């Protein structure tokens, strides 16, 4: 069997492609749209945002403080009002009970007090505290404080228990009245006892309480708003420090945010530093690729220039030979550039078996006599763009078909024990590669068999693309077929 060599990258055109090549010119309308979006961002005129965090936090704080203060104030007002009114009603109840305990029936059937009531206001006209006893067929028996007025008592119903209510029967003096109807010993008449007190005093107390509550809650609300404002200003200060740190990086050329920050902000800074490191890595890779390509093209261009200057008779052969060398270098670096660009787009999610089956169908058209076998985990997915996975598998499978003995086995994730890496085995029944040559076969242009056409870039592209995605590729000997075993380990899709 002949020795194995790298697959010709020119045959990659037979592998299915899933997207437009990155170096191909985009449609005119997409160019216009991209320019329309990027130009305002570059000039700083068009700045999209979703509002101020401080304003949101202030609105939330103001809303909740207002709701809580209104709810708490209402509850406290009702509680204090009920307490004041209950105390007022208890006094009326006490006076009404004292009246009934002091009332007796004389010989004529009229009521009188066996002892005077203790409150002096009952003796002063229009004092604001009144009592009255009324009975069917009897004239009302009022307190001196009523003077020429009479309490209107509804005698159409019986209040066996004390009945307290508000009354406006005196136009200039709102009253609160406590009533009860009883039948006194020695009398068959039903008597209605009533004690009335002016609500002016209790209303004044309630107004004073409400005034104190309102001013207290206004001061409390302003204090809470000031506290929320200071809390928001102090709490958001780390974000201002991040902005200043980024501004400092832009103006001074620093490449990291190193200021100590709170735990809640530190993950954002870590992600920012990781993004900066990623951008630096990409920029460094781009510079390296550009330098390598320039260095690789320098020698062929010098050879062509010298041959042309010297008017060498083999100038045409020299141009053809050196242009082929330059094309190999350009193809290699373009493949790396495409992989780097697609890797930066986002997290891919590519089914391995679908890509392997597509590659198998394409290679079968080139090598109809080769027997292919695809097995393994059909659900395995990797975090690699489909186009790059097609290129990796296309190079490896076609390499195995070209230099093998007629059998190619592809096994996908047969032992899914590793949660981070998905392993793909590509085996053939060829002569394999000696262990001493396995490390240099990945070099650009390295070929162990020069009898078959090729550029020697296939395995070099595989190595570079796998390295870009954080995977690894190793060469060994197939235990089943006896030829070369390529073990490809790629990161699993999340």
pLDDT digit string (tens) for 190-212?
888 999 999 888 888 899 999 99
Residues 201 and 305 placed together within one structural domain of the fold: no
What pLDDT was estimated at residue 38?
A: 41
298 vs 474, residue with greater confidence: 474
Is residue 39 domain-resident? no
332 vs 315, residue with greater confidence: 315
What pLDDT was estimated at residue 162?
A: 86
Nearest to 2 by CA among 395, 476, 430: 430
Question: pLDDT tens digits, residue range 439-474?
Answer: 666 664 444 444 444 434 457 778 888 888 888 888
Q: What is the CATH number of the domain that holds 482?
A: 3.30.565.10
Sorting pLDDT into bands at 50, 70 and 90, what band is 336? low
Q: Which range, of 277-291, 368-382, 470-484, averages the lowest pLDDT? A: 277-291
What pLDDT was estimated at residue 271?
A: 87
Q: Which range, of 90-99, 131-140, 322-331, 398-407, averages the lowest pLDDT? A: 322-331
Residues 366 and 415 placed together within one structural domain of the fold: yes
Last residue of a domain, one of 343, 370, 403: 343
Q: What is the mean pLDDT of residues 118-140?
A: 87
Residues 339 and 352 placed together within one structural domain of the fold: no
The structure's pTM equals: 0.48
3-state secondary structure of 129: strand
Question: pLDDT tens digits, residue range 377-415?
Answer: 888 999 888 888 888 898 899 888 888 888 999 999 877
What pLDDT was estimated at residue 333?
A: 67
Is residue 419 domain-resident? yes
Residues 151 and 287 placed together within one structural domain of the fold: no
Residues 90 and 204 placed together within one structural domain of the fold: yes
CB 5 within 8 A of CB 450: yes
pLDDT value at 30 more than 50: no
| Percent of the chain scoring above 70 in pLDDT | 81
Q: What is the mean pLDDT of the chain?
A: 79
Residues 354 and 480 placed together within one structural domain of the fold: yes
Question: pLDDT tens digits, residue range 105-128?
Answer: 888 888 888 888 888 888 899 888
Residues 97 and 194 placed together within one structural domain of the fold: yes
Residues 68 and 213 placed together within one structural domain of the fold: yes
Is residue 478 domain-resident? yes
Last residue of a domain, one of 319, 343, 367: 343
Last residue of a domain, one of 291, 326, 343: 343
Sign of CA dihedral 403, 408, 412, 418: negative
HEC secondary structure over the chain: CCCCCCCCHHHHHHCCCCCCCCCCCCCHHHHHHHHHHHHHHHHCCCCCCCCCHHHHHHHHHHHHHHHHHHHHHHHHHHHHHHHHHHHHHHHHHHHHHHHHHHEEECCCCCEEECCCCCCHHHHCCCCCEEEEEEECCCCCEECHHHCCCCCCCCCCCCCCCCEEEEECCCCCCCEEEEEEEEECCCCCCEEEEEEEEECHHHHHHHHHHHHHHHHHHHHHHHHHHHHHHHHHHHHCHHHHHHHHHHHHHHHHCCCCCCCCCCCCCHHHHHHHHHHHHHHHHHHHHHHHHHHHHHHHHHHHHHHHHHHHHCCCCCHHHHHHHHHHHHHHHHHHHHHHHHHHHHHCCCCCCEEHHHHHHHHHHHHHHHCCCCEEEEEECCCCEECCCHHHHHHHHHHHHHHHHHHCCCEEEEEECCCCCCCCEEEEEEEECCCCCCHHHCCHHHCCCCCCCCCCCCCCCHHHHHHHHHHHCCCEEEEEECCCCCCEEEEEEEEECC
Residue linked to tokens 């329309």: 36
Is residue 4 domain-resident? no
**Distance between CA atoms of 73 and 213, rounded to whole angstroms?**
7
Residues 482 and 384 placed together within one structural domain of the fold: yes
Q: What is the mean pLDDT of residues 171-196?
A: 87
Is residue 321 domain-resident? yes
Is residue 193 domain-resident? yes
Domain that holds residue 104: 52-241
Is residue 274 domain-resident? yes
3-state secondary structure of 14: helix
Residue linked to tokens 């076998």: 373
Sorting pLDDT into bands at 50, 70 and 90, what band is 67? very high
As for how many domains the chain has, the answer is: 3
Is residue 139 domain-resident? yes
Residues 355 and 270 placed together within one structural domain of the fold: no
CB 427 within 8 A of CB 485: yes
Residues 450 and 361 placed together within one structural domain of the fold: yes
Residues 339 and 363 placed together within one structural domain of the fold: no
Sequential DSSP letters for 178-247: EEEEEE-TT--SEEEEEEEEETHHHHHHHHHHHHHHHHHHHHHHHHHHHHHHHHHHHHTHHHHHHHHHHH
Q: Cα separations (Å) of 397 from 392, 394, 427, 449?
A: 9, 5, 9, 17
What pLDDT was estimated at residue 289?
A: 67
């Amino acid at each position: 069997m002949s020795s194995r060599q790298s697959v010709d990258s020119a045959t990659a055109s037979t592998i299915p492609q899933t997207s437009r090549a990155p170096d191909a010119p985009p449609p005119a309308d997409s160019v216009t749209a991209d320019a329309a979006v990027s130009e305002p961002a570059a000039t700083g005129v068009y700045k999209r945002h979703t509002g101020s965090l401080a304003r949101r936090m202030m609105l939330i704080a103001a809303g909740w403080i207002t709701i809580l203060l209104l709810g708490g104030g209402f509850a406290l007002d009702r509680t204090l009002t009920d307490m004041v009114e209950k105390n007022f009603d208890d006094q009326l109840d006490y006076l009404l009970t004292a009246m009934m305990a002091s009332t007796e029936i004389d010989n004529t059937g009229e009521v009188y007090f066996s002892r005077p009531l203790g409150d002096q206001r009952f003796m002063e006209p229009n004092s604001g505290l009144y009592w009255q006893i009324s009975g069917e067929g009897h004239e009302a028996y009022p307190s001196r404080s009523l003077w020429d007025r009479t309490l209107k008592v509804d005698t159409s119903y019986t209040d066996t228990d004390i009945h307290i209510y508000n009354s406006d029967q005196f136009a200039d003096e709102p009253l609160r009245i406590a009533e009860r109807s009883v039948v006194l010993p020695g009398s068959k008449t039903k008597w209605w006892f009533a004690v009335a007190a002016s609500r002016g005093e209790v209303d004044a107390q309630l107004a004073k309480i409400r005034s104190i509550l309102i001013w207290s809650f206004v001061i409390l609300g302003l204090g809470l708003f000031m506290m929320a404002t200071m809390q928001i200003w102090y709490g958001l200060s780390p974000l201002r420090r991040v902005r200043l740190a980024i501004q400092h990086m832009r103006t001074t050329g620093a490449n990291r945010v190193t200021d100590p920050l709170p735990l809640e902000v530190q993950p954002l800074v870590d992600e920012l530093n990781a993004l900066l490191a990623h951008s630096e890595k990409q920029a460094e890779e781009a510079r390296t690729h550009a330098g390598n390509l320039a260095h690789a093209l320098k020698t062929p261009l010098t050879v062509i220039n010298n041959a042309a200057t010297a008017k060498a008779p083999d100038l045409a052969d020299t141009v053809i030979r050196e242009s082929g060398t330059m094309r190999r270098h350009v193809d290699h670096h373009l493949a790396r550039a495409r992989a780097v660009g697609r890797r930066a787009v986002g997290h891919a999610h590519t089914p391995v078996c679908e890509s392997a089956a597509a590659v198998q169908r394409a290679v079968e058209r080139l090598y109809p006599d080769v027997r292919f076998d695809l097995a393994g985990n059909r659900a395995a997915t990797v975090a690699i763009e489909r186009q790059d996975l097609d290129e990796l598998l296309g190079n490896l499978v076609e390499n195995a078909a070209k230099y093998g003995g007629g059998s190619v086995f592809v096994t996908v994730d047969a032992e899914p024990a590793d949660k981070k890496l998905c392993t793909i085995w590509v085996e053939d029944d060829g002569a394999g590669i000696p262990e001493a040559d396995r490390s240099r076969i990945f070099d650009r242009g390295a070929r162990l068999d020069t009898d078959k056409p090729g550029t020697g870039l296939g395995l070099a592209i595989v190595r570079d693309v796998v390295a870009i995605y954080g995977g690894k590729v190793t060469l060994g000997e197939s235990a089943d077929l006896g030829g070369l075993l390529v073990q490809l380990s790629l990161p699993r899709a999340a």
